[in-house]
Amino acid sequence: MKENVSIIEIAKDTIKMESNSISNLTTLLTNDFSEAVKLIYDSKGRVIITGVGKSAIIANKIVATLNSTGTPSVFMHAADAIHGDLGLILEDDVVICISKSGNTPEIKVLVPLIKSAKNKMIAITGNVESFLGKQADYVLNTFVEKEACPNNLAPTTSTTAQLVMGDALAVCLLKLRGFTSKDFAKYHPGGALGKKLYLRVHDISSANEKPQVTAETSIKDVIIEISNKMLGVTAVTENDKVIGIVTDGDLRRMLSTVPDFSKLKAKDIMGKNPICIDVDAMAVDALEIMENNDISHLLVEDNGKYKGVVHLHHLIKEGII
């Protein structure tokens, strides 16, 4: 038990230390940050992000974040750059070099090569007085007092600071570009997240059966229609316009209260003014309507004409939930 308490305390201290270092970054922001954001925003090229060791891993993550939010970016390992990959940098590209010390051998070799090509360079470093800090056009200070590692060796707090600075860059650029959820969807078409942003009702309903009866359809035929189409519901239409709905629940209630339904028709048990949704509505909006109204299906319309059904099960199957 004592051991467990000690472990929790170590974890708390680590989190507090990193949290304090992140908060301190707000005091280190200078005009260089604003100018760096403007430089990237106005650039006709890409953002090339480079580093070595743990900084290279952080560089990869920042590249991924920028790409997904509308700023084309490429990772270039600093060691590989000085062995042939330098050709990856094009004339209009902006280069971001990430290094805690700013004095690693690879950075000292790479920086002069970037400057000789006249590419603008942004440094993310914990040492503004380093070789990298003095050579860069703009310096983003990620100084930390101490690593969370008890030996003050393993990059922990410093890499967290680098990551946060990269996120700050990405969010500023995102807002400057007026990047919307629709833009986000273009870069995230896969998985549940992408589907929430781009999947429309039509994409689901068009693949389903289209249960449909008229007001004068007999209950027997209503039951057959619902059974054959296997959606637990049918629309009641007139001239392709929805005038009602019959659900499994309506049929069960009828059977429990009406001894003889042989003469009943759809109009006798249908629900009037059913909730409908437009074919172009987002699937996630269909889910919200179902949840708010405690129902499991919606009738789909296109310019007032009946087009089909979207069921809660379809949304689950598509990963919207």
User: Residues comprising the binding site?
Assistant: 77
Contacts 24+ apart (CB under 8 A), 193-198: 195/283, 195/318, 195/319, 195/320, 196/282, 196/283, 196/284, 196/320
Which amino acid, 38? K
Question: Which pair of tokens denotes residue 288?
Answer: 């919200």
Number of alpha carbons in the 13 Å side-chain half-sphere of residue 175 = 6
Q: How many angstroms separate the Cα of 235 from the Cα of each of 153, 193, 308?
A: 68, 31, 8
Contact (CB, 8 A) for 93 and 78? no
H/E element holding 308?
Answer: strand 305-311
- Dmax of the chain from CA atoms? 92
124 DSSP β-pair partners:
98, 140
Computed from CA positions of residues 159, 80, 127, 123, in that sequence, does the dihedral angle turn out positive or negative? negative
Q: How many angstroms separate the Cα of 284 from the Cα of each of 205, 245, 281, 290?
A: 14, 22, 8, 10
The annotated binding site for Zn(2+) is made up of: 77
Q: Number of helices (H) and strands (E), helices first, in the chain?
A: 15, 12
Nearest to 92 by CA among 46, 123, 48: 46
Which amino acid, 321? I
